[in-house]
Amino acid sequence: MTTATDTATGGPVLELGALGMDTGAHVLVAHALRQRDPALALRVRGSHPELGVHLSGWCRKRGLTVTSQDGEHRIAPGPGEAQRWRGAQRAGASDPGAPGAVVAQPSARWGVAARGALVEAGAPEFYFPLSDKAALWADDAARLYATALAAQWDPNEAIDWAAPFELPDEVEDAVVQVMTYLVENENAALLVPARFLGQMHPHFREVLQCLAITIADEARHVEVFTRRIALKGRGPALSTAGAQASLKTLFDEPEFSVASFLLSVLGEGTFVNLLNFLNTYAPDPVTRQICRLASRDEARHVAFGMSHLAWQMAQDPDLKYRLNAAVERRYDELASTDGLNEEVFDGLIVLAAGAFTPEAVATGYERVQRLKQEMADGRRARLAKLGFAPEAAQALAERHTRNFM
């Protein structure tokens, strides 16, 4: 390729040789158009037999006009390609710190374009039910995503699955029952954010990224809890109707912020206490490793829920009443269920006891009761941090599902 200025006409000349528009010449034409003085025509020459036809079609799509004579093709000066982008919209700004980077209500026509991109007029509208910043934003989303990305762990590398241990059958059964319970809870914790992810406008990319890695965390937890169940040749244990009913209320909640509140602030916050308890009292090194790593992930999920709720409550003071109503509604729906799986509760006592003696079991029972109190205290503290009065925080903490999650 050569480009030179023809002194007779004052316009640049692009020599393409035998290169055709269908084999890459369009890249050189576009480059030459960007480089030339916009007041001058671009003259294109080449020996490809279809050059004139292909160049004419290419220019027409871009609002450019081209005339051909004696093997030379002249692309006229003027607004040209800029005509195509008349009416285009800038989709916020790529830099999240720039003024107006994240708008309150992004256009449906921005669709799945990158934030900050110039979106051509006439682009199709995408329907995103969650397209209001006040309904889903969290100031800490970008930081939490970066933290989660750095803290990702590989189950094959992070857990010593070959660590030697043997447990009495009844103790192994207790571990398997607790792990079965953890799997079903983590299935719910995966599916609830997944339900909302596809409803969110991609303009709020930090929130999407944070939820996507949360879903990846939960998928990994399901994997490691399932692998622990099978580690000594057993299959999953019992899943009760009451436990399933409790988790279904999370899945059925239609509002993102309310679902985040019930799942992350109340349920997963309680789950962190449970995983830390198992890290302390589990009878084998593999279970302790699993629970220690999972608890770190869950703490980030709680942090996102708290950040999101703090943001939205500042925008929508009435949200507090909807959260209160959701807790009451869920409490009433689950009033006739049996709460926590009895076998899970007994399994926790066995693990906390460490032995089958009256004294050890009494200690195990006391430790589980202390765990339940720590869960309630944690719920109350998080509710208070969100702005609930002490009496309201106490009442809501006490009315949380007996199934922990």
Please state, in angstroms and rounded to a whole number, the distance separating the CA atoms of residues 367 and 354: 11
Please state, in angstroms and rounded to a whole number, the distance separating the CA atoms of residues 200 and 137: 10
Please state, in angstroms and rounded to a whole number, the distance separating the CA atoms of residues 2 and 32: 10
- Residue 256's region, left for phi above 0, alpha for psi from -120 to 50, else beta, is alpha
The answer, yes or no, to whether residue 81 has pLDDT greater than 90, is no
pLDDT value of position 97: 76
For residue 379, the SS3 value is helix
Neighbouring residues of 185: CB distance < 8 A, sequence distance ≥ 6: 247, 267, 271, 404, 405
Burial of 324 per CB tally in 10 Å (0-12, 13-18, 19+): middle
Residue intervals in the chain for CATH 1.10.620.20: 133-398
Contact, 278 vs 368, CB < 8 A? Answer: no
User: Strands 66-69 and 42-45: what pairing?
Assistant: unpaired
Q: List, for residues 344-358, the tens digit of each pLDDT value.
A: 999 999 999 999 999
Q: List, for residues 106-120, the tens digit of each pLDDT value.
A: 999 999 999 999 998
DSSP letter for each residue of 284-350:
SHHHHHHHHHHHHHHHHHHHHHHHHHHHHHHH-TTHHHHHHHHHHHHHHHTTTS--S-HHHHHHHHH
- How many other C-beta atoms can be found within 10 angstroms of the C-beta atom of residue 398? 12
Residue intervals in the chain for CATH 3.30.110.40: 2-82
CATH number of 2-82: 3.30.110.40
pLDDT value of position 11: 79
Average pLDDT over residues 61-69: 86
Percent helix, strand, coil in the chain, to 5, is 60, 5, 35
Neighbouring residues of 298: CB distance < 8 A, sequence distance ≥ 6: 217, 268, 271, 272, 275
The answer, yes or no, to whether residue 387 has pLDDT greater than 80, is yes
Contact, 316 vs 153, CB < 8 A? Answer: no
Q: What residue type is assigned to position 71 of the chain?
A: G
Structure tokens at 226: 């399932």
Q: Which has the closest alpha carbon to 178: 102, 108, 97, 283?
A: 283
| pTM, to two decimals | 0.84
**Four-way CATH pick for 133-398: 1.10.620.20, 1.10.760.10, 2.30.110.10, 3.40.50.150:** 1.10.620.20
pLDDT value of position 403: 75
Q: Which has the closest alpha carbon to 302: 382, 373, 365?
A: 382
